[in-house]
Structure 1
Amino acid sequence: MTQNIYFEPAWERTISDPDRKVILEKFYRLKEANVANDFITYLWHAYNHRQSLLTTILIHNWSGQAIDFENRLVHCLVGGEKIATEKFSIPCQVPAHTSMPWTFIFPKEHVRSSVDFSKCQLIVENNICRTLNDDKNEMHIE
């Protein structure tokens, strides 16, 4: 079955053209590489005006059934060291054979500061993500 990409309606309305392009490029590269064992792929991180850490990922559902993402513990690791942990839920299902971008927001108070994100990983409960840091993928949002 062919893997598709899905942008949740709020994403569809608000995503910038450059961000959409980056997401689609990484999605098609992963699709070509046929990495069907990965659950999430780290895309980039940023900080918002509250200095919360925003980590953008692709969630992959390679199975033939829709999946829920409810109250899942997510750890952010840099260089193998845990810098943040939060529980997250996504308000929609990830359809079968679909990858979907999402952003997790770690409040400033729960993030260790002054870290180099060039080797960032996210772990969702027992699922580890693929780290695709072609560059530092760092940007700041004001």
Structure 2
Amino acid sequence: MSQLQFHPVWKDKLTLKQKEELLTFFEEQAPITGKFDAVLVRGKYKKNEGAVATVLLRNGYEKLLDIKQAIVEITDSANHLVAAEKFELDLSLKGDSALPWSFVFSRESVKKADVDSANWKIHVDLQEEIQTKKE
């Protein structure tokens, strides 16, 4: 049975309503097995011309996944690049679970600033990951 986990910072900062909304979104997703993926929860452009994408990072493996680096791309419905950036992370994602996370893109990373965020697609390419023993 897949579960939703929260990073300690998120656990303390999110309201009960925000946690419930994320849980509902999580429960609406089709389960995955034997792979990692990311699902866009919401996105927006920032006032400083950057962007932020809140995603569910989903670990369909049975093992704990330690994520250290990722290249994250946002594309539009025609697969044109909206934003891309490499992120240094320190996240642990339990086996068969999901974790909400926000990627904040700098202004320099944004290539198209006029795409409706409802049409964004997210691609998270793990550059450095460590699968540890089965939990």
For the aligned pair, the TM-score class normalised by the smaller chain equals 0.7 to 0.9
Root-mean-square deviation (Å): 1.9
Report deviation, 1:45.
Answer: 1.3
Any unmatched runs of 5+ in structure 1? Answer: 127-142
Contact 2:44-2:117 at 8 Å conserved across structures: no
Distance in 1 separating the partners of 2:44 and 2:16: 17
Distance in 2 separating the partners of 1:10 and 1:52: 22
Report deviation, 1:34.
Answer: 2.8
Q: Which residue matches 2:95?
A: 96
Any unmatched runs of 5+ in structure 2? Answer: 127-135
Sequence identity percentage: 20
Structure 2 letter corresponding to 1:92: L
Report deviation, 1:48.
Answer: 4.2
TM-score (norm 2): 0.80
Identify the structure with the greater strand proportion. 2
Counterpart selection for 2:42 from 44, 47, 56:
44
Q: Which residue matches 2:26?
A: 27
Q: For 1:50-102, what per-residue CA distance to the aligned partner results, in whole angstroms no more than 9, with x for missing partners?
A: 34211000001111111122221111101211111111133221111110000
Distance in 2 separating the partners of 1:27 and 1:41: 9
Report deviation, 1:109.
Answer: 2.2
Q: Please give the secondary structure, in 2, of the residue aligned with 1:63.
A: coil
Q: Please give the secondary structure, in 1, of the residue aligned with 2:64.
A: coil
